[in-house]
Amino acid sequence: AEGNVSPVQMISAMEDAFGVHPGQRRNHIKGSCALGSFKGLAAGASYSRSALFSGQAIPVVARFSLGGGNPAAKDADKGVRGMALEFKLPGGALQHMTMINVPVFGAAKPQTFYDLLLALKPDPDTQRPDPAKVKAFVDSHPDFQAMAAFTQSHNPPASYANSPYYSLHAFQFLDKDNQATLVRWHFSPQDGEKPLTDAEREQAPANFLEQALIDRAAKGPVNWDMYLTLGQPGDPDNDPSHPWPQDRQQVKVGTLSITQAMAQDQGNCGPINFDPMVVADGIAVTDDPVLRARSAAYALSFGKRLSGQ
Ligand code: HEM
């Protein structure tokens, strides 16, 4: 079926798929907090007047996470890893970037993501998703396939520090003359990309990502370079399942340094809603329906967990 999916439908499908864990996120439930700063480059300032690219160090509160709503998920499980950033700009404005480590998203429209959640609802008899329903979902949603192929063919990272993270959505960067440039961005790890080997995946304990990040940050800043990908006329601005052609120009616009990590109940990322539509002057959202559905669903998840539901 086509049509708008309300946040109430979306979160209720998420709760049916993953269960309800009171006070916690309905998705990306397992994660860790971190702190650091971001330094922008003049190259960024030529596309966006955001204070991000002033060259001053901008304080950042971060959260790293596993996709999905299972708090007992294993860190070696295949699937999505997230990096959510809240930049505290001078004067009190906030900029969010809420990214995953997959370069293509599995839904052109909120309906596809909703249909996936419906297909993942555990069968009462087996307590597992019904494989026939999952297959029917996959067969009927071509926009899901690129992301599924990517997550199945890539082992997860050995550390959050060894993964890139992608905006997926396109945003408008606005310069000082209000000239707009359509961009996507990603953060590339200076520590390099390092997936677990198959043997490491089998032997890995359930929980290692948090301690690995704490240990790594204790040795010195963990850096990611931020790159823009510049859109060309005709590149879609409203479909995170649709990659742009490979030849699009990339521009390095800054570096994120994570200096400290901690458990999510010991840091200040817990009560933040990393809504990806929180943008400050110089960056603007498009009418991407997936981005809009995210914002609505995050608000509901946030309201529930803050009130102990
Ligand atoms: C329609 C599609 C999507 C829906 C309905 C959805 C829903 C959600 C919800 C409900 C949360 C928990 C929010 C909270 O309680 O604070 C969440 C977290 C998250 N989502 Fe999404 N999401 C979608 C797509 C995406 C995409 C495309 C990305 C990446 C580009 C993404 C990355 C993340 C990350 C990194 C988190 C964890 C944020 C944190 O650490 O607090 N999601 N999502």
The CA–CA distances, whole Å, from 30 to 4, 77, 166, 263, 293 equal 28, 12, 19, 10, 22
49, 283 contact by CB (below 8 A): no
- Ligand 1, atom 43, lies closest to the CA of 27
Q: Identify the residue whose tokens are 């030529």.
A: 46
Low-confidence residues of the chain, pLDDT below 50? 1
In the residue annotation, 28 being an active-site residue is answered as: yes
Q: Which pLDDT does position 156 carry in this prediction?
A: 98
Per-residue model confidence (pLDDT) at position 1: 44
Query: Of the residues 9, 97, 98, which should be mutated to test ligand 1's pocket, given the most ligand atoms within 8 Å of the CB?
Result: 98
Q: Establish whether residue 160 lines the binding site of ligand 1, counting it when its CB lies within 6 angstroms of any ligand atom.
A: no
- What ipTM was assigned to the predicted interfaces of this complex? 0.98
- Tens-place pLDDT, residues 183-241: 999 999 999 999 999 999 999 999 999 999 999 999 999 999 999 999 999 999 999 99
Residue 162 has what pLDDT? 98
Q: What is the pTM of this model?
A: 0.98
Q: Residue with structure tokens 């120009």?
A: 249
pLDDT tens per residue across span 1-10: 456 899 999 9
Q: Which two tokens stand for residue 241?
A: 């399942």
Identified catalytic residue from 28, 96, 169, 186:
28
Give which of 258, 276, 275 is closest to 267, Cα–Cα. 258
State whether the Cα torsion 84-89-92-93 is positive or negative: negative
Ligand 1 contacts CB of residue 109 (under 6 A): no
Contact 5, 110 (CB under 8 A): yes
